[in-house]
């Protein structure tokens, strides 16, 4: 398989294009350190994709996770999650000794103390580098800091301040820091200089490993699909460093927060809590911050899944004090003007639109105006209506079809809970007698692969025919340890059983 046949063919997909791939988040790869990273398992996974004739690997966002460990609530739109740094790859690259790597106990990152162990390891790595280890990387590190300064300086300081204040929400910091008073910022930069350098260095290590993985994937003819959340986390360096781009009050608190009205996933809607954009301010800059956000991700992937694509047409704004998302209202997004500017900047639009949920004709028109492929999910297809857009009969070729997404139940769990009438609809569609379908996951995979969609993707959970134990996420719900307890995890970060082999 040629490299050109895989990642070089980016959307919009021509009618003759046909390709397939798998969805697997990096953290779900097997690892002795509790969660997957960018090391040998990631390289082996690419090799497996190549050997199986798969041309694409799709992952979830890879930023530093905040609330609920959700990759969609990242502390930065530009930074990577330092927990994804592969200790073993640092050894194989000749960067650090096993003595440093031994500071991370096997599987320790799966515990609540994992971040502190990773921090100790990275502190030691920085100390050795600063003392003269790997002098050949010093100029490369300097170039990295200079090239990424537009976001790295703010993120490094933000991370150091988060540590200084025990992980507190940045709005609970001293007011002079919340408001970024120049004298206060200069003082903490001096005070936290070492910690800031450690954050810079961790990002340098992570980006080096990401570059190596992308190079390996391209050599194997495998393209990488990244994921860009539409909104940013309220507790992020994005909002802290750029308050003018969000609708905030005088205390820098969100006036409105994002969500969606009641839908398939939630009867009360989903109240995400993200601040909403000030599109007038962004438009006045030529959407420069948005373009740099896209550019940062495209440095690591070939195609970007635009999460919550309908937000570009209109977003659901909920008053910040509202207990549910039901009281929100639709507010227009940047629309075609945004994509015209992006297209003139990049020359192409290597995007996939996540156009699920309550979609209006305006959203479809925006998607189709720029020939951005939409998303179709087979689990939504069997309600009995012949005009259901998720039925393969109704696909256009410039489409990406999934058996299910990270937000859905695995197909095995879905089928086990499927109402009888939808089971019958599925059987009729597949020309099977009732009761002849014992396992739905392989059936939906075959259906996706044989459809006219240009690109077919299945989560690895479906390829392995795993059940409820392997579900990645339940939208709009955080797991809790008990009544009144704080949220634990919104996303499953650990390897599910089928990935351990």
User: Could you confirm whether 235 is annotated as catalytic?
Assistant: no
Q: What is the mean pLDDT of each run of 10 residues along the chain (501 residues)?
A: 53 92 96 89 98 97 87 95 90 62 46 50 83 88 98 98 96 97 98 96 96 97 97 97 97 95 80 95 98 97 97 97 93 98 96 93 97 98 96 97 96 96 96 90 98 97 96 68 31 38 30
Choose, from 307, 413, 443, 462, the residue flagged as catalytic: 307
* pLDDT confidence of residue 91: 77
Those residues with Cβ within 8 angstroms of residue 395's Cβ, 6 or more apart along the chain or in another chain: 376, 401, 451, 452, 453
Q: What is the b/e burial string over 107-132, where b = at least 16 CB atoms within 10 angstroms of the residue's CB?
A: ebbeeeebeebbbebbbbbbebbeee
Q: Is the peptide bond before 56 cis (omega within 30 degrees of 0)?
A: no
CB count, 10 Å around CB of 219?
A: 11
Choose, from 93, 197, 362, 407, the residue flagged as catalytic: 407
* pLDDT confidence of residue 369: 98
**In whole angstroms, what is the distance from residue 488 CA to residue 478 CA?**
7
Beta sheet of 314-319, edge-to-edge order = 270-275, 256-260, 314-319, 329-332
Q: What is the pTM of this model?
A: 0.91
Phi/psi at 479 (5° precision): -65, 145
User: Could you confirm whether 407 is annotated as catalytic?
Assistant: yes
* pLDDT confidence of residue 498: 36
Those residues with Cβ within 8 angstroms of residue 173's Cβ, 6 or more apart along the chain or in another chain: 161, 165
Measured in whole angstroms, the distance separating CA 141 from the mean position of its chain's CA atoms is 26
* pLDDT confidence of residue 233: 96
- The pLDDT tens digits for 92-115 are 766 565 555 555 544 444 333 345
* pLDDT confidence of residue 99: 57
For the four alpha carbons of 25, 80, 277 and 69, in that order, the dihedral sign comes to positive
Choose, from 354, 355, 413, 462, the residue flagged as catalytic: 354
**In whole angstroms, what is the distance from residue 344 CA to residue 58 CA?**
26
* pLDDT confidence of residue 96: 60
* pLDDT confidence of residue 468: 95
Whether the CB-CB separation of 455 and 400 falls below 8 Å is answered with yes
Helix (H), strand (E) at residue 332: strand 329-332
- The pLDDT tens digits for 156-175 are 999 999 999 999 999 999 99
User: Could you confirm whether 307 is annotated as catalytic?
Assistant: yes
* pLDDT confidence of residue 68: 74
Concatenated DSSP letters of 430-480: TT--TT--S-HHHHHHHHHHHSS-SEEEEEHHHHTT--GGG--B-TT---B
* pLDDT confidence of residue 95: 56
């Amino acid at each position: 398989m040629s490299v050109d046949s895989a990642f070089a063919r980016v959307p919009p997909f021509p009618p003759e294009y046909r390709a397939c791939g798998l969805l697997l988040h990096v953290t779900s790869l097997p690892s002795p350190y509790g969660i997957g990273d960018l090391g040998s398992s990631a390289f082996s996974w690419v090799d497996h994709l190549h050997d199986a004739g798969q041309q694409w690997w799709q992952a979830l966002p890879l930023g530093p996770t905040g609330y609920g460990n959700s990759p969609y609530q990242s502390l930065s739109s530009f930074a990577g999650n330092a927990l994804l740094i592969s200790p073993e790859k640092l050894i194989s690259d000749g960067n650090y000794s096993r003595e440093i790597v031994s500071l991370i106990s096997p599987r320790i990152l799966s515990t609540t103390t994992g971040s502190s162990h990773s921090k100790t390891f990275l502190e030691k790595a920085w100390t050795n580098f600063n003392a003269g280890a790997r002098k050949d990387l010093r100029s490369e590190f300097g170039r990295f800091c200079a090239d990424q300064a537009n976001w790295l300086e703010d993120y490094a300081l933000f991370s150091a301040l988060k540590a200084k204040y025990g992980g507190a929400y940045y709005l609970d910091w001293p007011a002079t820091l919340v408001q970024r008073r120049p004298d206060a910022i200069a003082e903490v930069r001096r005070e936290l200089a070492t910690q800031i350098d450690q954050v810079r260095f961790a990002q340098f290590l992570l980006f080096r490993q990401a570059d190596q993985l992308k190079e390996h994937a391209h050599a194997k003819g495998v393209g990488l699909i990244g994921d860009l959340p539409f909104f940013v986390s309220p507790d992020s360096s994005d909002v802290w460093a750029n308050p003018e781009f969000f609708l905030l009050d005088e205390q820098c608190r969100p006036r409105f927060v994002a969500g969606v009205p009641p839908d398939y996933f939630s009867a009360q809607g989903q109240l995400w809590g993200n601040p909403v954009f000030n599109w007038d301010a962004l438009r006045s800059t030529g959407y420069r911050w948005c373009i740099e956000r896209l550019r940062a991700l495209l440095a690591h992937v070939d195609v970007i899944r635009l999460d919550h694509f309908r937000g570009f047409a209109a977003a659901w704004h909920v008053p910040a004090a509202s207990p549910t998302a039901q009281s929100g209202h639709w507010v227009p997004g940047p629309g075609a003007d945004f994509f015209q500017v992006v297209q003139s900047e990049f020359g192409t639009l290597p995007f996939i639109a996540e156009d699920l949920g309550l979609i209006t004709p305006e959203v479809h028109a925006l998607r189709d105006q720029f020939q951005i492929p939409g998303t179709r999910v087979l689990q939504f297809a069997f309600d009995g209506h012949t005009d259901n857009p998720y039925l393969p009969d109704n696909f256009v070729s410039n489409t990406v079809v999934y058996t299910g997404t990270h937000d859905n139940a695995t197909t095995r769990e879905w089928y086990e809970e499927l109402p009888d009438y939808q089971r019958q609809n599925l059987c009729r569609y597949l020309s099977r007698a009732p009761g002849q379908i014992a396992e739905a996951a392989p059936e939906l995979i075959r259906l996706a692969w044989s459809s006219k969609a240009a690109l077919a993707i299945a989560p690895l959970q479906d390829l392995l025919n795993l059940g409820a134990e392997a579900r990645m996420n339940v939208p709009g719900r955080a797991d809790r340890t008990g009544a009144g307890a704080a949220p634990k995890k919104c996303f499953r970060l650990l390897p599910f059983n089928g990935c351990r082999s």
